[in-house]
Structure formats: structure tokens, C-alpha cells
């Protein structure tokens, strides 16, 4: 994907505005990436239409290529559509919280029931698992065995009882025992089938669950969309668990499930073992769907380019001696954002003799500078020389920021030294050290 995107983008280079024509090509690449990830075709079409609208509204910042900015919009939109943050399991006001598991046969419902129970038990919440799959001969045994393994009780009434009755009795028992959460495992079919749906609806009506989770196999691919629609329309789901993400699947089903039902994916299954359950994180899933790290790296690069664009403007200012306190603060924030104040400071001539300890103090110093600069008037920030000649101004800033007058004097003299040094470095054309500082 990265190679293809890269080649498509090479053709776009040198243009500074997102236009209908130049995103068409990148859109095709994104479309292909989503389809390869098994996102449902209709979902892909709708999603891309949305992103296109958004991207076209966006202005391209200088120093950034339209394609880079576009991919950032795609990624951000993907994260947003999938829910931005993880949504935890619902909790009933009065125990027990009732969770109903739904889904086709073989998707991992029974396994997910045990995984969820273990997850809750680790949070010191007591659980009861209810076995209502009376159709498959070994289904009840499977849950009982899992229950022993994780030390969580299982309620069952054998394979001759009515699933609705089992569910109702199971919930009654959970109430009587004061259990925190009761998880009802249900029977699936290989394909959507009206008997299965009818039974699921009856169970749901009987126990009134707080959470109805659709268990979806990540390998389901394109079909995940239809599946979700049917379950959501007929039964009504409140969330989903995406299983078998330890496989090759790029997880496009996550986008389909979310777009179609509007309900969040709450957990992902990443293996056969009972411990293999993780909360769902939309940002991780977004990069997996788009092609994992490749795109994220590109997004990060784009972000760095935003910063670089800022740095270039700054360089012009320094050279034209218009560098003031506002720029100084911006510069310091930029350095902070880049994450390694220490590493960057070392690159600045004259500062490389600082010890690591001193470098660690950089963060504290930045806060201090910010506070003092924030206490300056607009005029003072623009014309730092005002401060070197006026003790009363310095006193006022000291009072406003909560620092000493000597701190303010030091800030002013440091600033002036830095400005002089930068101008000296800049003389004779070019500013060799500068771009490296921010690259
Ligand atoms: P059910 O019919 O929906 O109850 O599905 P099961 O829970 O019986 O699981 C069907 C098969 O899928 C079993 O062999 C499970 O071990 C396996 N399985 C379930 N979840 C996962 C998962 O997250 N990863 C992998 N690799 N296998 C899983
Ligand atoms: Mg089962």
C-alpha cells in the first residue's frame, strides 16, 4: 500500500491545494486499501464520499503536500467513525448487569462469553455464565469446561430445556446470589435463519439485557455488513465483539459494523485462549485497516511537515530581525512538541555543553518562560527592548507571573543573547543548522 500510495502521490507533488482532480487518484488508492481490508463495498463508497467532502473543505498548509494532508483526513475520519475512544461495557444501576451474546455459529460466542467473564473477574466483579445453546451436543459442556478453567460458575438446565426458560432462570439465580454480571451464551446458526432470530428475540424480551453484543468473526469480510444489519434491525444490538483478529484479517469488518449499526465495538478477540481479549481501540484499528504502520508513519511525517512549515516562516523572521517574544514562545512550544527538547538543544551551538540534568530542566524552564511571556503586553512581546530599559515593566511581569524580577531580567537577557546569536549565524546567507533542527 505504501508503495502504491507513494507512487500516486509523487504525481501530486508540487501542488499546494486539494483539488477535485488531485484527490481522485489518492481516493482510488484509499478505496482499494479499504476493500483489501474487507470493508463492505457500500460502506467504502459512503465513507469515501464523506471524507472527500471533508478533505475538499480543508486548506492545505504551506510546506505540506495535498496528498499528505488528505491521508491525515482519511485516518482521522476513520478513527472518528469507529468511535474515537474505547467504550466500556454497560453497567446496570442495580446488579446484575445482564449481557446477551448473539451471533452466527463458530464466530466465537462461547469463547467470548468466557473471555468476558474472566475480564470482569479480574476487575473483582462476580459473574454467572448461562448456557442456552441446547442444539449442539457439546455446547453446554464447552461452557462448563471453560467455567472451571476460569473459576466462574455456569448455569445450565441440560439440553432438553427451552432456551428462553434457561435464560430467565439463569438471571433469577444471578439475582438471588447477588452476582454482578450475568452473561448469556446463545446458540448460533451457520447462516442467518429465522428460527434463530425468533429465539434470540424471545430471550431478549424475557431477560431485558443491558447489553446485547453481536459477536463477529473478523474473517467474515464483506458479509459482516449484512449480518450486522439483520441482527441490529431484528434484535437490536448495543455493541459488538470482533473475534479472530489474531489472524490475517485487516479488520475491515470493524468499520462495517460501526457504520451500519452505529454501535461501538467494545472488545476484540485475539486468540483461542481465555485471556485473549482486549478493549477495542479505534486508532489502532484505523491504522490496521489502512495498512498498519505505513500510513501512520506518513501521517506523522505530514505532521512534522506542518511543523517544518512553521519553522521556515520563523527562519525568515529571524533573518529579518523581526523575531520577538511571541515567536520565541512559539519556537519553544514547537521544540516541546517535537518531544525531545534535550536532543534538539544539544544541536544548538553553545548549548551542547549542558549536562543531561540541565537538559531535563528544559521542560520546567519552558513553563516558566510561558508564564512570564503570558504576563507581557502585546507591545512588550513585539518589542523586547522595551523591557531591558524599564524596571517597572519587569516588576509588573514578575508580579503577574508569580516569578521574581530577577527571573524576568534573565529571560530578557537570554532572549537577547539568543536573538543576537541567531542573527550572527544567519549572516552571509542561509541558515545551515536550522532545517536540521526541525527535520
Ligand atoms: P460459537 O459457535 O460462536 O460459540 O464459537 P466458539 O466460541 O465455539 O468458537 C469457535 C472456534 O473459534 C473455536 O475453535 C475457538 O477456539 C475459536 N476462536 C474463538 N475466538 C477466537 C479468537 O479470537 N481467535 C482465534 N484464533 N480463534 C478463536
Ligand atoms: Mg457456542
Domains and CATH numbers, the chain: 2-84 (1.20.120.140), 97-280 (3.40.50.300), 321-438 (1.10.260.30)
Please report, for residues 73, 128, 129, 191, the alpha-carbon distance to residue 104 in angstroms, rounded to integers and kept in the order given: 35, 22, 19, 6
pLDDT by residue (tens digit) across 1-38? 555 545 444 444 444 567 767 777 778 888 888 998 88
Give the nearest ligand 1 atom to 277 CA: 23
DSSP per-residue letters across 104-121: -TTSSHHHHHHHHHHHHH
Per-residue pLDDT at 328: 78
CA distance 222 to 216: 12
Q: What's the mean per-residue pLDDT of the chain? A: 82
Is residue 253 a contact partner of residue 215, using CB atoms and an 8 Å limit? no
Q: What are the pLDDT digits (tens) for 247-305?
A: 888 899 999 999 999 999 999 999 999 999 999 999 889 888 887 455 455 556 556 65
Type and span of the H or E element at 43: helix 41-57
pTM above the 0.80 mark? Answer: no
- What's the rounded Cα separation, in Å, for the pair 120 and 89? 10
Q: Is the CB of 331 under 6 A from ligand 1?
A: no
> According to the annotation, is 132 in a ligand binding site?
no
The pLDDT, as a whole number, for residue 76 is 86
Most confident of 54-58, 260-264, 322-326: 260-264
Q: Which long-range contacts (CB under 8 A, 24 or more apart) does 265-268 make?
A: 265/82, 265/83, 265/239, 265/240, 265/241, 266/86, 266/87, 266/88, 266/89, 266/213, 266/239, 266/240, 266/241, 267/112, 267/115, 267/116, 267/119, 267/241, 267/242, 268/218, 268/241, 268/242, 268/243
Looking at 208-251, list the stretches that DSSP marks H as alpha helix, in order from N- to C-terminal side. Answer: 224-234
Q: Are 295 and 3 in contact (CB under 8 A)?
A: no
Q: Choose between 255 and 309: higher pLDDT.
A: 255
Question: Using CA atoms, how far apart are residues 56 and 270, in angstroms rounded to an integer?
Answer: 37
What's the rounded mean pLDDT across residues 126-135?
96
Q: Which residue has the higher pLDDT, 293 or 107?
A: 107
**Atom 27 of ligand 1: nearest residue by CA position:** 272
Mean local confidence (pLDDT), 99-111:
96
Q: Which residue has the higher pLDDT, 27 or 91?
A: 91
pLDDT at 385: 85
Ligand 1 mutation pick, 103, 106, 111, 216, max ligand atoms within 8 A of CB = 111
Q: Is 216 left (phi over 0), alpha (psi -120 to 50) or beta?
A: beta
Residues 166-215: tens digit of each pLDDT = 999 999 999 999 999 999 999 988 777 888 899 999 999 999 999 999 99
- All residues with CB under 5 Å from ion ligand 2: 109-110
Return the ligand number nearest the Cα of 270. Answer: 1
Amino acid at each position: 500500500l505504501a508503495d502504491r500510495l507513494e507512487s500516486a502521490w509523487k504525481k501530486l507533488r508540487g501542488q499546494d491545494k486539494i483539488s477535485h482532480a488531485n484527490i481522485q487518484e489518492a481516493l482510488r488508492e484509499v478505496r482499494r486499501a479499504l476493500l483489501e481490508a474487507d470493508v463492505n463495498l457500500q460502506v467504502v463508497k459512503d465513507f469515501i464520499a464523506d471524507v472527500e467532502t471533508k478533505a475538499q473543505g480543508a486548506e492545505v498548509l504551506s510546506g505540506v503536500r495535498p496528498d499528505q494532508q488528505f491521508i491525515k483526513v482519511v485516518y482521522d475520519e476513520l478513527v472518528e467513525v469507529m468511535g474515537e475512544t474505547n467504550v466500556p461495557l454497560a453497567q446496570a444501576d442495580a446488579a446484575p448487569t445482564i449481557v446477551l451474546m448473539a451471533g452466527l455459529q463458530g464466530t466465537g460466542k462461547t469463547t467470548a462469553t468466557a473471555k468476558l467473564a474472566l475480564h470482569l473477574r479480574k476487575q473483582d466483579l462476580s459473574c454467572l455464565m448461562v448456557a442456552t445453546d441446547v442444539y449442539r451436543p457439546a455446547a453446554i459442556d464447552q461452557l462448563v469446561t471453560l467455567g472451571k478453567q476460569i473459576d466462574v460458575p455456569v448455569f445450565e438446565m441440560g439440553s432438553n430445556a427451552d432456551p428462553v426458560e434457561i435464560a430467565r432462570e439463569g438471571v433469577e439465580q444471578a439475582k438471588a446470589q447477588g452476582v454482578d454480571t450475568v452473561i448469556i451464551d446463545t446458540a448460533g446458526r451457520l447462516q442467518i435463519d429465522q428460527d434463530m432470530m425468533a429465539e434470540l428475540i424471545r430471550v431478549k424480551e424475557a431477560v431485558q439485557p443491558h447489553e446485547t453484543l453481536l459477536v463477529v468473526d473478523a474473517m467474515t469480510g464483506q458479509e459482516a455488513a449484512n449480518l450486522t444489519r439483520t441482527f441490529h434491525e431484528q434484535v437490536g444490538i448495543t455493541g459488538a465483539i470482533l473475534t479472530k483478529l489474531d489472524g490475517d484479517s485487516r479488520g475491515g469488518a470493524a468499520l462495517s459494523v460501526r457504520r451500519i449499526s452505529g454501535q461501538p465495538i467494545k472488545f476484540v478477540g485475539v486468540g483461542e485462549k481465555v485471556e485473549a481479549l482486549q478493549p477495542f481501540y479505534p486508532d489502532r484499528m484505523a491504522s490496521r485497516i489502512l495498512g498498519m504502520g505505513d500510513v501512520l508513519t506518513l501521517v506523522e511525517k505530514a505532521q512534522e511537515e506542518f511543523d517544518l512549515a512553521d519553522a521556515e516562516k520563523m527562519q525568515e523572521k529571524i533573518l529579518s530581525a523581526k523575531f520577538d517574544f511571541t515567536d520565541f514562545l512559539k519556537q519553544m512550544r514547537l521544540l516541546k512538541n517535537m518531544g525531545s527538547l534535550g536532543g534538539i538543544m544539544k544541536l544548538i551551538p553553545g548549548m551542547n555543553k549542558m549536562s543531561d540534568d540541565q537538559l531535563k530542566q528544559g521542560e520546567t524552564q519552558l513553563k516558566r518562560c510561558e508564564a512570564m511571556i503570558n504576563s507581557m503586553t502585546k507591545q512588550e512581546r513585539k518589542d523586547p527592548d522595551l523591557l531591558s530599559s524599564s524596571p517597572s515593566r519587569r516588576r509588573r511581569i514578575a508580579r503577574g507571573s508569580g516569578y521574581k524580577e530577577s527571573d524576568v531580567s534573565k529571560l530578557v537577557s537570554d532572549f537577547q543573547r539568543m536573538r543576537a546569536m541567531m542573527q550572527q549565524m544567519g549572516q552571509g546567507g542561509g541558515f545551515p543548522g536550522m532545517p536540521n533542527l526541525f527535520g
